[in-house]
Amino acid sequence: MNPIIANLLTEPVGVSHYVVVGAFMFTCGVLCMATKRNALGILMGIEMVLNGANLNFIAFGSRYLRNDANSLGLDGQLISLFVIVLAAAEAAVALAIVLNFYNNTGSIDVDGADQLRG
Amino acid sequence: MDPSWLPKLLALAWLTPLASFVLILFFGKHMGSHGKGAGLLATTAIVFSAVCSFTALFGVWLPNHPLQDASHHSAQHEEVDSHAGVSVPIRLVAAEAEGYGHAGHATGEHGEHANNAAPKYITADWYELGVFGKLKLTIGYYIDALTVAMFCMVSLIASCVHIYALGYMHDELHDFTDPEVTLTSGENLKRPGRYYRFFQYLSLFCFSMFGIVIAGNIAMVFVFWELVGICSYFLIGFYIERKSASTAANKAFIVNRVGDFGMLIGLMALWSSLGTFSFGDMTNEQGEVTEQGMFSLLRTEENDYHLQPTAGMVFEGDRFPECNCATGGSGDTASAGEASGSGELHAKPPTKNHAGQWLLLVAGVGIFCGCVGKSAQFPLLTWLPDAMEGPTPVSALVHSATMVAAGVYLVGRFFPVLSPEALLVIAYTGCITLFVAATIAITATDIKRVLAYSTISQLGYMMLALGLGGWIAGMFHLITHAFFKSLLFMCSGSVIHGVHTNDMTEMGGLRKKMPITAYTMLVGCLAIIGAGVPLMGIGFSGYYSKDAIIEQAFSFGVSNPRHWILQWAPVAGAFITAFYMFRLWYMTFAGKPRNQERYDHAHESPRVMTAPLVLLAVFALGVGWAFPGTNLKVTNLLEQARPVGTLVTSHGELLPALVIPNEHDAHNFLVPAGLWAFGTAASGLLLATMIYLWDFGLRPEELKRTFKPLHSWLWNKWYFDEIYEWIFIKPTKMFSGWISWIDRNIFDSIIHSSAAICKGGSKVVDAIVDRTLVDGTVNTLARGTWDTGLWLRKIQTGSLRQYVMFIAAGTILLFVAISFVQNI
Amino acid sequence: MDAIYWPSFFFLLFSFIACAFALGVLLAKNIVRMAFYLVLSLSSTAGLFFLAGADFVGAMQLMIYVGGTLVLLIFGVMLTSQERFIEMRTSSGEWVVAFFIGLMLFFTLGKAAFGVAAWSGLDRETAEAVQVEQTVTPLAMGLLGARVDKLDEPDAAKQEGMAGYLFQFEIVSVHLLVVLVGAAYLARAKRKASGASAGGS
Amino acid sequence: MAGLINDFLNWLPLGWPVAHDSWLGLLIAGVVHIALILQLVAVSALVFIWLERKISGRIQDRLGPTRVGGKFGWLQTLADGLKLLTKEDLTPDGADKMLFKIAPYVSFCASIAAFIAIPFAGGVYPWIAQHLNTGVFFVLAVMGLEVFGVILAGYSSASKWSLFGAMREAAQVVSYEVPLGMCVVVPVLIAGSLDMVVIGDRQAGLFTNWLVFHDPFTFVTACVYFTCAMASVNRAPFDLAEAESELVAGFHTEYSGLRWSFFFMAEYGSMFAVSILAAILFFGGWHGPVPITSMLGLSGEVGSIGWGLAQAIGLANVLLKGTIGVCVMIWVRWTLPRMRIDQVMTTCLKYCTPIAAAMFLGATLWQYKLPGKNFFGILDLPEAAYEVSEGWQREDASDVGGEDRIADVGANRTHGNNTKGWR
């Protein structure tokens, strides 16, 4: 087997690997926001972005991935807890906005929401 | 067998097609009805050539030169390097060429030095055409591993194409009605079939191609170079009655002349300074060198095989006594180059004479000009797509696998003569070509034109590889590409044969009608995009060669950050290649039929056509592999022919910062290059699949509409034809027009103009002072403000999703900017 | 070959699932399927949290995120029960632009991820020697303002700065309350009369 | 566990050595755990369905099944299962095929996964598939996922009835998670840990130590918990999702055969899970009302026969209490009429939530004012309670930055007062 693939299986993964996964989820989330016309799809994109960020916090705070003075330690987990909670709050507000938008326009297509166009 | 058989066997392989040509020339019309026997004769001849070539390879060359595993050596090499800490130029052991010399002296000497030594070759003259003072024109040979490999490749593909053409050209066996030529009477042209003539040209072409490969000196190369050109002319213009075909033939011929002009200049520069045309050293029976060839003159053993101008190349040497022009003057240009590269340029006395380097540059670039023409590189790339007017077997043989590859071959053969600066020119040409051609291929809908642009792009890859110092990479890609591209062309020919159209927009779903063609073509497509398992080293043939090129590009890019574009262009090219090749495959074979009538009448081609497809598919799949259990592998064979210049890290003389890296260093970039190549190819494939196969929401028509300007830019082939029309043709016509106009109207115009000047003068004052200056300033200001406002307004789209895109793009830009700042 | 290091294996497994379903969310056309994929993706991310030793956060992730997504799903079904909303296409051009920007973004981020040497992971012995630690109590204490995990911090300046997260916790709590009230206010049912005028405009 | 198995394998004359940390043992241990949990859910479903028929029959003055399998018709469920297996597996035409097919498995998996973190016997070496120190939380979170299967099923069936059922279910489950969570927090608060093993062992001794009798507030909390648990697993009177009088069969209208039976297994599995959770949180877990095992001196070294017997008795306790809980649910189902959806929501938002919040406050106050005392404890019963606390405590409050450390859960059990701990 190739050394790189073998190493992935036999050596502990590091912060880098977590960050790459986080980056992937982040990118997917951004693209989701950029390509979905459904307002709920955009919300899901936001959830994914936040989740990708969370993954980074957890990774930077984990003692299994990186054990040095620069590690975030418990702060990483605390911050990600806040992120999760605030994400829930944000989802509630966003849903309310979406609902309002739907009540006003009869549609949840965000492309219809371009009254601020220049 | 004894090595003295080598020239004999290859000469036999070379001359058999010539015999076939002569026979068909005189008796072709009488060989069966419309010359049916001519086809068989030509095919037999080329198969015989192939047999000879392979006998030469397996019977003579390999027994005398057992293959070494190159990768094993490179590993050792890396170890040595890492121990030394820096990349030291390896002190090369003595070339064995002298001891080798004429046939019969094969000592079988090889072993651990094989990698570092000058390649082993046999060279001699067969026949002296004439001696004019110092100028000696001869017919000779220069045979090394590359020659043998090329012989095998060319003869094998040519055999397949011949067999294929037996079936493909059967329309020509009887009176032929050309549906594309309409006479003034409104009827279609009816003419007797020209089956025999086709094979006559093919035989002549094979002869000429073999001639280029076997040639022992550059003058002989030039002769066969032109012969190949004329064959190409004949074959493109095979349907001479068609306007498009005859125009294309002319275009190909004329464009090639432009390149050959440069080649002649290069030839003269070389000859006038070196006094010889021969590649290698001539030896007598005792093995003493009687006459040095170009390679050993320019890269002497004493100088670690670094390129150094010879005494004859430096003008007015007396005026600059300090210059290190003499052969003994081991003030060593290479080390001087390094020193100046490290910023001590001003410390040196300003008497350094670069004339020799300039001359080498002129010679190298001049020779390369010929290759630009033949290999359809930028800016002379317009003729190759038009050459698709010829019958498909011709496209497969001449315009993809062999003739256009001759340019690459010549650059490879000439490698020791090329200075780093010339290599840089080559690399940039290849880089531009590969990108331009690949982008054009995205929008083309003619199946053969897509392949033609793909060919140009792949040739660009090879040139790029050579220009970056990746000799093995380029030559290896030349060979793998020959196999899969001829396969692709023959598959497209099979499709055209079955559907009777070139237009991909009328195809679709043909997979079910012609399965053999479809799946062999799939093999070809996978091979050209370099499909393989990353890091595992298992893949189609293109996987190995393309990865090698990208590795070399990475290696080069790391040594020369300034030329980063040369590093990333092949990566981008891999993405585009994967996209357009699978676009082609999906449009042709997958999905639903777009033209039901054509689909209903489509049929699989006869066995005489599909059999070569299968054979070539096997080669396209496996030509990069080692024969199981042995070292028998194309790269190992090429390794034996590696020219001396590629295993040293060389520095530019004129551009001191330029570094052409040692090719073995490329292995350090195995992992990133492999991953990048795989990633880009996979994403290109994915994109093509999403657009053309899955009903995913990406529709080609919609894309075409959205990117209208881009699409028409590519559809019109970057306006190359139009530009040439405007730059070269129109001015010529206009210039002559002007002359006549002046001639006729000179007097009148003088009188009229004097009146007009008065009138115009007052108008000008009015226009300039009053309207333009006074009004204009005010209006321009107002207009500018207004326009800026309007333009800025566009950014404010109000669309949430676009804002997200702006943010993402802004992030990326910020990142890039920061990384730049940090680098400074 | 060395023995397989199981946490790494599970990391690969979970991250593959998470990434695959994240891609699924991006590519799916149907809003309900998107939600379904999102749930799977977030759940496997919770698995990644567990692997990194953050078990409480992982459980929170399962409970709140996944539960929150559940609400999203309900709204998705409610609002998009009309056929025309279930699948809304984006023009191909935007997809292609997004594709390239996404590609660049990912490579930029990925390059950064591998740019720091200290991030490349512990060696096997060190990683196996890391003690399992309880996270719940320290987390709760942290939220209540006492950093029991850093009691032996020698640097006095740093000790000053780790007063815990009590204040933030309070702010978030109040914030949540405000958000709930605000959301309820925003999403309240329209009066009959105003609803009619909104429909007419 | 894995290490033990590996050592055993190594001892067997297999012909090749097995390392102490080989993957083989991990695999076998995993398979054993999965098999145990699966069979528990499957067998309990069999029993409960039969039980439901018998009990409902008796409540309605009927006999229930009598024929299959002899005396009490106890093989009736198995016969039904066979019938379901042979039924045709239908997928409606307009359905979202992928989601339709996957939905039952989602429910079933969520229901089973909850058992991973549920302990069946406590002590130093508890009988539990995966000992999580956030066990309660994990179980709640995973059980919350079950509703996903239901919603997906309702949506993908392309039927109005199914969709209505799913929407009701979603609204109901999301709402009831709030009071449920609050109720669960109360025992967690008292035990000072999210670890179910700790919570269970906190209730060792006489039944007076059970948390339901800890104080009046916990008693009410237990009642509220059970109500909310019934609602969150969709049992009558809260089974709006499958109200057959209005919605044909609710979310599983379009299902038949094996897929349908997966929903059923999921439902009974969750019933059992919430009942066991109730038993562990409030009703002493694996400790019987009277500490027989310690009276008999059945505690010993881990692995000894006495220990095994004690653990087995604990297991029997948990299963019995769980079964009693399920029986209560069955009893409620066949005696109370189904509520309307608005009544369901009112019950949750206007009654359960405020009551749970008040009880939470009350329990907190009790902990503050009467630390370490339970209801019977203020009556001054001797040595009735002992404190169990995970985590951080200071031997000496004045010694700042001293000996604080992570304490092992099992080892850190201290008798007596624990008021010096952090609060």
- C40-55 pLDDT per residue, tens: 898 899 889 888 888 8
pLDDT of residue C78: 65
Whole-angstrom Cα distance, residue D405 to residue D393?
8
Q: Does A23 fall in a domain?
A: yes
Domain that holds residue A47: 14-106
Residue B325 predicted with pLDDT over 60: no
Residue with tokens 């009429």: D337
Whole-angstrom Cα distance, residue B495 to residue B518?
9
**Is residue B168 within 8 Å of residue B497, measured between CB atoms?**
yes
Whole-angstrom Cα distance, residue A15 to residue D287?
44
Cβ neighbourhood burial of B711 (10 Å; 0-12, 13-18, 19+): middle
Using alpha carbons, list the distances in angstroms from residue B645 to B294, B302, B334, B656: 13, 14, 13, 18
How far apart are the CA of B802 and the nearest CA of chain A, in angstroms?
Answer: 6
Whole-angstrom Cα distance, residue D94 to residue B200?
65
Q: Does D142 touch chain C (CB under 8 A)?
A: yes
For B438, residues 6+ apart whose C-beta sits below 8 A from its C-beta are: B453, B454, B457, B573, B576, B577, B580
How much is the average pLDDT of A38-64?
87
Q: Do A40 and C79 touch (CB under 8 A)?
A: yes
pLDDT of residue C71: 65
Q: Does A48 fall in a domain?
A: yes
Using alpha carbons, list the distances in angstroms from residue B275 to B137, B228, B305, B311, B325: 12, 26, 20, 11, 17
For the ranges B330-334, B389-393, D386-390, the maximum mean pLDDT occurs at B389-393
Q: Which ipTM score applies to this complex?
A: 0.68
Whole-angstrom Cα distance, residue B463 to residue B123?
26
How far apart are the CA of A116 and the nearest CA of chain C, in angstroms?
Answer: 18
Q: What are phi and psi of B538, to 5 degrees?
A: -120, 125
Residues D218 and D315 grouped into a single domain: yes
For the ranges B515-524, B535-544, D378-387, the maximum mean pLDDT occurs at B515-524
The CATH number of residue A73's host domain is 1.10.287.3510
Domain that holds residue D112: 87-369
Residue B72 predicted with pLDDT over 70: no
Q: Does D414 fall in a domain?
A: no
Q: Do C32 and D99 touch (CB under 8 A)?
A: yes
CA B698 from centre of chain: 34
- The tokens describing B530, both together, are 């370099």
Rounded-to-5 percentages of helix, strand, coil across chain C: 75, 0, 25
Q: What is Dmax (Cα atoms) for chain D?
A: 73
Q: Do B804 and A37 touch (CB under 8 A)?
A: no
Q: Does A83 fall in a domain?
A: yes
Q: Does A12 touch chain C (CB under 8 A)?
A: yes
pLDDT of residue B311: 65
pLDDT of residue B91: 33
Q: Does A117 fall in a domain?
A: no
- B686-729 pLDDT per residue, tens: 888 888 887 766 777 777 787 788 888 887 777 887 888 788 77
**Is residue B438 within 8 Å of residue B671, measured between CB atoms?**
no
Between B96 and C86, the higher pLDDT residue: C86
Q: Using CB atoms, which chains have 3+ pairs under 8 A with C? A: A, B, D
Q: Do B797 and A114 touch (CB under 8 A)?
A: yes
Residues D17 and D112 grouped into a single domain: no
Residues D47 and D109 grouped into a single domain: no
Query: What residues does C52 pair with on adjacent strands?
Result: none
- Which amino acid is it at A63? R
Query: What are the residue ranges spanned by the domains of chain B?
Result: 423-531+540-624+662-715, 718-823
Query: What residues does B291 pair with on adjacent strands?
Result: B282
Residues D37 and D113 grouped into a single domain: no
Whole-angstrom Cα distance, residue D71 to residue D79?
15
Residues D179 and D57 grouped into a single domain: no
Q: Is B797 helix (H, G, I), strand (E, B) or coil?
A: coil
Q: Does A112 touch chain C (CB under 8 A)?
A: no
* CA nearest to C92 within chain B: B698
- Chain A (43-102) residues lying within 8 Å, Cβ to Cβ, of chain C: 43-45, 47-48, 51, 54-55, 58-59, 61-68, 70, 73-74, 76-78, 80-82, 84-93, 95-100, 102
Q: Does D421 fall in a domain?
A: no
Residue D381 predicted with pLDDT over 80: no
Q: Structurally, how many domains does chain A consist of? A: 1
Residue D408 predicted with pLDDT over 50: no
Sign of CA pseudo-dihedral C186, C191, C194, C195? positive
* CA nearest to B806 within chain A: A34
Residues D228 and D278 grouped into a single domain: yes
Residue C135 predicted with pLDDT over 80: no
Q: Do D137 and C56 touch (CB under 8 A)?
A: yes
- D195-245 pLDDT per residue, tens: 888 888 888 777 777 888 888 888 899 999 999 998 888 887 888 777 777
Q: Do A117 and B799 touch (CB under 8 A)?
A: yes
Residue with tokens 């959830």: A47
Q: Does C112 touch chain B (CB under 8 A)?
A: yes
Residues D205 and D299 grouped into a single domain: yes
Residues D98 and D244 grouped into a single domain: yes
pLDDT of residue B356: 77
Q: D99 contacts in C (CB within 8 Å)?
A: 32-33, 36
pLDDT of residue D382: 45
Half-sphere exposure of B586 (CA within 13 A, CB side): 19
Q: How, if at all, do strands B282-283 and B289-291 pair?
A: antiparallel
- The tokens describing B751, both together, are 């009188």
3-state secondary structure labels for all residues of B45-68:
HHHHHHHHHHHHHHHHHHHHCCCC
Q: Which of D144, D166, D422 sits opposite C141 (nearest CB)?
A: D422
How much is the average pLDDT of B553-560?
87
Banded model confidence at residue C102, pLDDT cuts 50, 70, 90: confident
Banded model confidence at residue A53, pLDDT cuts 50, 70, 90: very high
How much is the average pLDDT of B449-467?
91
Q: Which helix (H) or strand (E) holds B659?
A: strand B659-660
Least confident interval from B778-782, B793-797, D329-333: B793-797
Q: Do C172 and A1 touch (CB under 8 A)?
A: no
**Is residue C166 within 8 Å of residue C143, measured between CB atoms?**
yes
Is the pTM higher than 0.80? The answer reads no
**Among C37, C62, B686, which Cα is nearest to D96's?**
C37
Cβ neighbourhood burial of B96 (10 Å; 0-12, 13-18, 19+): middle
How far apart are the CA of A107 and the nearest CA of chain C, in angstroms?
Answer: 8
Banded model confidence at residue B386, pLDDT cuts 50, 70, 90: confident
With a pLDDT cut of 90, the percent of chain B lying above it is 15
Q: Do A34 and B797 touch (CB under 8 A)?
A: no
What value does the mean pLDDT of chain B take?
A: 80
How far apart are the CA of B472 and the nearest CA of chain A, in angstroms?
Answer: 24
Q: Omega before D354 cis (within 30°)?
A: no
- D23-65 pLDDT per residue, tens: 777 788 888 888 888 888 888 888 888 888 888 888 888 887 8
Residues D204 and D62 grouped into a single domain: no
Q: Does A111 touch chain B (CB under 8 A)?
A: yes
Our answer on whether B and C touch (3+ beta-carbon pairs < 8 Å) is: yes
Our answer on whether B and D touch (3+ beta-carbon pairs < 8 Å) is: no
Residues D229 and D332 grouped into a single domain: yes
Q: Do C63 and D141 touch (CB under 8 A)?
A: yes
What is the 8-class DSSP label of residue D405? -
Q: Pick from A9, A30, A105, A107 the residue to mutate for testing the B interface (most B CBs within 10 Å).
A: A30
